[in-house]
């Protein structure tokens, strides 16, 4: 029997599916027929935790899930996000209670469902107390429109403030060998509070693959070429040597580098659930199989020591991207 993890008391397979890049962020959206086929294949493989957001494809990711999977709604935990939204084709940030409730109604329609299992605040809104926003989400729980509340890209202080208003089921944070910021505080805080840590970009946005992505081939619309400085030509060249030990460890384990990266996140706690995204059916299956890989303590320790946070070349986000999150930073990052 496959191992399971828990999100808000609900069992899920250890590896979920992020549904951002089928429509958004890493170049042009997928062909819609291919995107729907990938979603169906994910459920056929056994994926049972799908993560999307209002912002992804300006609602199109949600629509594709609704169109492709509405007849299989009982087979998976459905997560989406509010606060980061869109209006007239432009990104918006709005965590006012009335805006959260309106966003939920719109997402329910796009997803073709009557309840969202896990509904996140996609980002903190500096203009709205988090208690007010979580209060609105708690109202949606009472109304039966969502089952669980999540947060994304927030630090320990925000988590504790939110959790005091209503139990938080999940905190979504970027976490990988290349981005270890959750280890500052949020990994332990989640464990203490019984909150799942949902690790996005656990394969480093394609860096932790073999071969890794090539920034020279990024499409003009690929955000990795603009808001993620580690992918700039100079920084990326400085990061590539990190992969040597990852390849050696993957060879010792008998898996791919991407599978090693996923298995490493799983080794960081039973409450950690990585959600790699992909547009490739082969990678979809490869990521799925990573959920059954258990790394030895020696391999984890070797990777920990090699991928020290200060070895990553370049900041995680550019100034704009960093300004809208409250995740903890290492002291050296604050001077980059």
User: Per-domain residue ranges for the chain?
Assistant: 5-206+262-295
* pLDDT tens by residue, 75-123: 999 999 999 998 888 889 999 999 999 999 999 999 999 999 999 999 9
Backbone angles phi, psi at 299, to 5 degrees: -65, -45
Q: Name the burial class of residue 305, with classes exposed (0-12), middle (13-18) and buried (19+) by CB atoms within 10 angstroms of its CB.
A: exposed
Tell me: cis bond preceding 211? Omega within 30 of 0 counts.
Answer: yes
Q: Give pLDDT, residue 90.
A: 84
User: Residues 6 or more apart from 331 whose CB is under 8 A from it?
Assistant: none
Angle between helical axes of 281-290 and 257-266 (0-180°, round to 10): 40
* pLDDT tens by residue, 264-322: 999 999 999 999 999 999 999 999 999 999 999 999 999 999 999 999 999 999 999 99
User: What is the residue-averaged pLDDT of the chain?
Assistant: 96
Region 13-38 average pLDDT: 96
Distance between CA atoms of residues 45 and 197, nearest Å: 23
User: Which residue of the set 56, 120, 175, 317 is catalytic?
Assistant: 56
Backbone angles phi, psi at 97, to 5 degrees: -50, -45
56 has catalytic annotation: yes
Distance between CA atoms of residues 176 and 185, nearest Å: 15
Distance of CA 336 to the CA centre of its chain: 24
In terms of phi and psi (left: phi > 0; alpha: psi -120 to 50; beta: otherwise), the region of 6 is: beta
* pLDDT tens by residue, 240-267: 999 999 999 999 999 999 999 999 999 9
- b/e per residue, 179-198, with b = 16+ CB within 10 A? bbbbebebbebbbeeebbbb
Region 195-204 average pLDDT: 98
Q: Name the burial class of residue 208, with classes exposed (0-12), middle (13-18) and buried (19+) by CB atoms within 10 angstroms of its CB.
A: buried
The lowest-confidence range among 6-20, 86-100, 134-148 is 86-100
SS3 assignment, position 302: helix
Q: Give pLDDT, residue 1.
A: 45
CATH T-level fold of 5-206+262-295:
TIM Barrel (3.20.20)
Q: Give pLDDT, residue 171.
A: 98
Instruction: Please give the helix or strand (H or E) that residue 146 lies within, else none.
Output: strand 146-152
Distance between CA atoms of residues 178 and 205, nearest Å: 10
Q: Give pLDDT, residue 2.
A: 57
Distance between CA atoms of residues 106 and 210, nearest Å: 39
| Residue (of 19, 20, 50, 16) closest to 222 by Cα position | 20
Distance between CA atoms of residues 20 and 153, nearest Å: 15
Q: Residue 72 is encoded by which pair of tokens?
A: 């299989």
- In this prediction, residue 329 has a pLDDT band, given cuts at 50, 70 and 90, of very high
Distance between CA atoms of residues 53 and 55, nearest Å: 5
Q: Is the pLDDT of residue 9 over 70?
A: yes
Residue 254: how many CB atoms within 10 A of its CB?
A: 9
């Amino acid at each position: 029997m496959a191992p399971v993890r828990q999100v808000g008391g609900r069992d899920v397979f250890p590896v979920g599916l992020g549904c951002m890049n089928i429509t958004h962020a890493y170049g042009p959206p997928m062909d819609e027929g291919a995107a729907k086929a990938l979603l169906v294949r994910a459920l056929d493989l056994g994926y049972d935790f799908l993560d999307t957001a209002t912002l992804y494809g300006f609602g199109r990711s949600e629509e594709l899930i609704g169109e492709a999977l509405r007849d299989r709604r009982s087979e998976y935990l459905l997560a989406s996000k509010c606060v980061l939204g869109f209006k007239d084709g432009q990104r918006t940030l709005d965590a006012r209670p009335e805006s959260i409730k309106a966003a939920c109604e719109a997402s329910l329609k796009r997803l073709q469902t009557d309840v969202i299992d896990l509904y996140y605040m996609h980002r903190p809104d500096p203009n709205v107390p988090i208690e007010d926003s979580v209060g609105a989400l708690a109202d949606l729980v009472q109304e039966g429109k969502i089952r669980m509340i999540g947060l994304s890209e927030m630090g320990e202080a925000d988590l504790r403030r939110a959790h005091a208003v209503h139990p938080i089921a999940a905190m979504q944070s970027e976490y990988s060998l290349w981005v270890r910021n959750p280890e500052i505080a949020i990994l332990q805080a989640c464990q203490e509070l019984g909150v799942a840590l949902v690790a996005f970009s656990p394969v480093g946005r394609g860096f932790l693959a073999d071969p890794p992505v090539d920034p020279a081939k990024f499409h003009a619309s690929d955000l990795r070429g603009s808001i993620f400085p580690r992918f700039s030509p100079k920084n990326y060249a400085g990061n590539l040597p990190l992969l040597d030990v990852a390849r050696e460890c993957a060879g010792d384990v008998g898996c791919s580098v991407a599978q090693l990266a996923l298995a490493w996140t799983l080794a960081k706690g039973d409450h950690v659930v990585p959600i790699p995204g992909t547009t490739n059916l082969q990678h979809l299956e490869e990521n799925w199989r990573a959920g059954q890989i258990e790394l030895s303590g020696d391999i984890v320790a070797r990777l920990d020591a090699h991928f020290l946070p200060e070895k990553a070349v370049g900041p995680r986000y550019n100034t704009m991207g960093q300004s809208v999150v409250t995740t903890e930073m290492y002291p050296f990052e604050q001077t980059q």
